[in-house]
Amino acid sequence: MQNHLNDEFVFRYKLVGSVEYIKSGKDQLILSKMVKICCIGAGYVGGPTMAVIALKCPNIQVAVVDISTARINAWNSDTLPIYEPGLDEVVKKCRGKNLSFSTDVEKHVAESDIVFVSVNTPTKTQGLGAGKAADLTYWESAARMIADVAKSNKIVVEKSTVPVKTAEAIEKILTHNSKGINFSILSNPEFLAEGTAISDLLNPDRVLIGGRETPEGKKAIEALRDVYAHWVPVDRILCTNLWSAELSKLAANAFLAQRISSVNAMSALCEATGADVSQVAHAVGKDTRIGPKFLNASVGFGGSCFQKDILNLVYICECNGLPEVATYWKQVIKVNDYQKTRFVNRIVSSMFNTVSGKKIAVLGFAFKKDTGDTRETPAIDVCKGLIGDKAKLSIYDPQVNQDQIQRDLSMKKFDWDHPVHLQPMSPTSVKDVSVVWDAYTATKDAHGICILTEWDEFKNLDYQKIFNDMQKPAFVFDGRNVVDAEKLRKIGFIVYSIGKPLDDWLKDMPAVA
């Protein structure tokens, strides 16, 4: 209904039949009843996203739930379970007010009006689609639990990255177990970059919400849109159908990974021809149709999404009878794997074709700077390649601890994406790997240095001191192009930088085995 009040209008509507809002023409949201939001999953997506919602919506109660007691205890402590610039301040400002962290999953789900689901969607390791398809075991389990404990109508929001048509499967589970309760399913994929997640949440490029094109679906979309509208301009909140929202997330990650593989493929050609990949990328990025972002050559991309989402995309294409499209996206992964292998081969061939018994300092283990996340980090494959040639590794990363590094180097592929309690509890300690908490300790008496994460501190190390304390000849293999290669060469280092003109030492040595 509408009432004209001082050139404003007021109307009322209900959130899935339970929570009433009053909304003014100035986009001011006033709740006539307190709304409660719950997020299942207290990981890299659920924790930061809910913290920012709590910060920007002080009139909404937000609960983050997880079955991992250790993780929830960490969220309630002074040392959060994940490192993300700005996250600590946001959590501490809201925790104990309208933001809570709990292991009482069923209680908070039952009490909530909107339930975000941000659970693991690992790549299947066996059965149909093994190595490509997403394993939706945890999603299905969450959906069945929601249906079981719900006593009132709910909006269920996909926050995990999921295959297209997952919402349809979840909808079927909920409706066939609904006991007369109304469930509306929305897809609200995250587009966060780790290291800048809080600023991405506070000032997003876009918020994407997909739902059914039915009256109930549109009401659910509007209800979630109004949560984000507390701080996100309405023109940045995109509303689509369910399938478009689900596919947009996979497509965005595939396009970004494709750009990285493209510039990395060019880096190999640059080394072969004497071109400089940084200059090539700068020239290409000046084309307004292309732009400069994601054109930094490196040892390869990592993170929890790129490889997993592309493999998922490949599987969906194959299932839909599109083998040529599947092959196209497979090549993005192949180039990424090739780049890591090429980097290891450069190290081994440069050091007299063997690193057996030699100390190699590894600077950086996280997949990018400003995060402690090691999921699918290129460092894992590079370290395993060097260990395979019997190198002795000394690893330093400012945000990754010894237990995590040992776990990553001993786990099987894709194990990392299962909940912590289902991962190997006591991974075997990897022989010939030490983890230290200082770059100078890592590099002392080393034969070579591998820079695998672009932490700012690695640009400003005292490389003269490092050179003096290393075995000679002393090598630097810069997998992120963070150091000034010419300055290091003047000190006496033999330097290999991805995609840059080769050091004379390296020119006649093969880049591939």
Active-site positions read: 305
Three-state secondary structure readout of 453-494: CCCHHHHCCCHHHHHHCCCCCCEEEECCCCCCHHHHHHHCCE
Does the annotation place 45 within a ligand binding site?
yes
* Three-state SS at 299: coil
Does the annotation place 122 within a ligand binding site?
yes
Does the annotation place 490 within a ligand binding site?
no
Measured distance CA(461)–CA(406) in Å, rounded: 26
Identify the bridge partners of residue 123 per DSSP, sorted by sequence position.
134
Does the annotation place 123 within a ligand binding site?
yes
Measured distance CA(2)–CA(9) in Å, rounded: 6
CB 209 within 8 A of CB 240: yes
Measured distance CA(413)–CA(424) in Å, rounded: 12
* Three-state SS at 63: strand
Say which residue the tokens 């260990």 belong to.
Answer: 387
User: What long-range pairs does 353-356 form, CB within 8 A, spacing at least 24?
Assistant: 354/389, 355/386, 355/389, 355/390, 355/391, 355/447, 355/448, 356/389, 356/390, 356/391
Does the annotation place 259 within a ligand binding site?
no
Does the annotation place 95 within a ligand binding site?
no
Does the annotation place 240 within a ligand binding site?
no
Does the annotation place 253 within a ligand binding site?
no
15 backbone φψ class: left, alpha, beta (φ>0; ψ -120 to 50): beta
Does the annotation place 121 within a ligand binding site?
yes
Does the annotation place 96 within a ligand binding site?
no
Does the annotation place 308 within a ligand binding site?
yes
Identify the bridge partners of residue 22 per DSSP, sorted by sequence position.
12, 30
CB 436 within 8 A of CB 137: no
Does the annotation place 434 within a ligand binding site?
no
Q: What's the chain's Rg over C-alpha atoms?
A: 25
- In one-letter notation, the amino acid at residue 162 is V
Does the annotation place 153 within a ligand binding site?
no
* Three-state SS at 335: helix
Largest CA distance in the chain: 82
Measured distance CA(117)–CA(106) in Å, rounded: 13
Measured distance CA(13)–CA(19) in Å, rounded: 8
Q: Determine how many CB atoms are found less than 10 A away from the CB of residue 411.
A: 16
CB 248 within 8 A of CB 242: no
Q: Determine how many CB atoms are found less than 10 A away from the CB of residue 231.
A: 15
Does the annotation place 305 within a ligand binding site?
yes
Does the annotation place 79 within a ligand binding site?
no
Does the annotation place 326 within a ligand binding site?
no
Say which residue the tokens 């339930």 belong to.
Answer: 115
Does the annotation place 440 within a ligand binding site?
no
Cβ-Cβ contacts under 8 Å for 288 (sequence gap 6 or more): none
CA atoms within 13 A on the CB side of 321: 0
Q: Residues within the annotated binding site for NAD(+)? A: 41-46, 66, 71, 119-123, 160-161, 194, 305-308, 375
Q: Residues within the annotated binding site? A: 41-46, 66, 71, 119-123, 160-161, 194, 305-308, 375
